[in-house]
């Protein structure tokens, strides 16, 4: 009966019955200067948030708790990824933060145990990770600013790299969504799909009823009731069936 959202430089609790909103009391939070960069709820109903308040900390509210606690991560090079703008959960229940690289929080020990920020064979030396997703096998998929799509196999420690040279419409990827065995990629030059099995890349445009505009949202939304995937192109919101496109 409630939604937790990042609104106007704060985290708020919104009662969905009467739409009453109440701000959480975040430790040493300054409304004029601080903002929430990423917000994520895991499979155990714990909620994680990153902010510009301190790149060496994050906020967490576990199930049953009324307020967020600030978790300080000092003198830990494994969390040295600047401001995390994405948070996700892997198939083992561990939490990943993504900024200039990715860091994994072991939820059993409460400590960071893995960092990924050296990406070989990049055309442009950048580390800004965009819209990371992880599949059931633990394989990571994410964009790197100006470098296209990166695939990292945790088991083999091997990278794969896909760019315009392999058929992507653009090397700047803003949104990624994994649906069945297909990655949907929102780029600055439109939408593409990547078959994770065959590695085939397909681009879509006006002939496919897609706008001739850049993809501007930083995520996709999948409506399981209608079977449609939604994304934004400027002021336009487009929904499509990923099984039929």
d(CA 191, CA 116): 27
Q: Kindly report, residue by residue over 126-154, the tens digit of the pLDDT.
A: 999 999 999 999 999 999 999 999 999 99
What pLDDT band is residue 41 in, cutting at 50, 70 and 90? Answer: very high
Mean pLDDT value of segment 79-88? 97
Mean pLDDT for 78-106 is 97
Residue 217 in this model has a pLDDT that exceeds 80: yes
Could you give the percent of the chain with pLDDT greater than 70? 100
pLDDT at 107: 97
Lowest mean pLDDT among 53-62, 115-124, 167-176: 115-124
The arithmetic mean of pLDDT across residues 187-193, rounded, is 97
- What confidence score (pLDDT) does residue 29 get? 95
pLDDT value, residue 86: 98
Predicted confidence band at 73 (pLDDT cuts at 50, 70, 90)?
A: very high
pLDDT value at 8 more than 80: no
Whether residue 240 is predicted with pLDDT greater than 90 in this model: the reply is yes
Closest Cα to residue 86, out of 173, 183, 28? 173
If DSSP states are collapsed to H, E and C, what string results for the chain? CEEEEEECCEEEEEECCCCCEEECCCCCCCCCCCCEEEEEECCCCCEEEEECCCCCEEEEECCCCCCCEEEECCCCHHHCCCCCCEEEECCCCCEEEEEEEEEEEECCCCEEEEEECCCCCCCCCCCEEEEEEECCCCCEEEEECCCEEEEEECCCCEEEEECHHHCCCCCCEEEEEEECCEEEEEECCEEEEEECCCCCEEEECHHHCCCCCCCCCCCCEEECCCCEEEEEECCEEEEECCCCC
pLDDT score, position 122: 83
Give percent above pLDDT 90 in the chain: 91
Q: What is the mean pLDDT of the chain?
A: 95
Nearest alpha-carbon partner for 150 in 198, 102, 204, 105: 102
Q: Among all chains, which residue has been given the structure tokens 């069936």?
A: 241
Q: Spell out the residues 6+ positions from residue 127 whose beta carbon is closer than 8 angstroms to its own.
A: 100, 101, 117, 119, 144
């Amino acid at each position: 009966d409630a939604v937790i959202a990042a609104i106007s430089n704060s985290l708020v609790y919104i009662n969905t019955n009467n739409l009453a909103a109440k701000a959480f009391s975040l430790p040493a939070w300054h409304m004029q200067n601080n903002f929430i960069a990423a917000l994520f709820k895991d499979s155990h109903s714990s909620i994680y948030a990153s902010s510009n308040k301190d790149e060496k900390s994050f906020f967490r509210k576990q199930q049953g708790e009324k307020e967020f606690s600030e978790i300080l991560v000092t003198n830990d090079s494994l969390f040295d990824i600047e401001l995390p703008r994405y948070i996700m959960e892997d198939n083992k229940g561990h939490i990943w933060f993504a900024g200039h690289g990715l860091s994994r929080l072991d939820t059993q020990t409460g400590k960071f145990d893995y960092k990924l920020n050296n990406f070989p064979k990049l055309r442009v030396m950048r580390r800004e990770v965009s819209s990371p997703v992880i599949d059931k096998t633990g394989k990571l998929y994410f964009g790197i600013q100006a470098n296209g799509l990166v695939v990292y196999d945790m088991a083999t420690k091997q990278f794969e790299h896909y760019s315009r040279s392999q058929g992507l419409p653009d090397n700047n990827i803003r949104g990624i969504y994994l649906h069945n065995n297909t990655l949907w990629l929102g780029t600055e030059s439109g939408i593409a799909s990547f078959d994770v099995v065959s590695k085939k890349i397909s681009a879509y445009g006006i002939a496919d009823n897609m706008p001739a505009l850049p993809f501007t949202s930083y995520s996709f939304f999948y409506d399981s009731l209608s079977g449609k995937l939604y994304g934004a192109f400027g002021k336009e919101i487009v929904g499509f069936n990923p099984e039929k496109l």
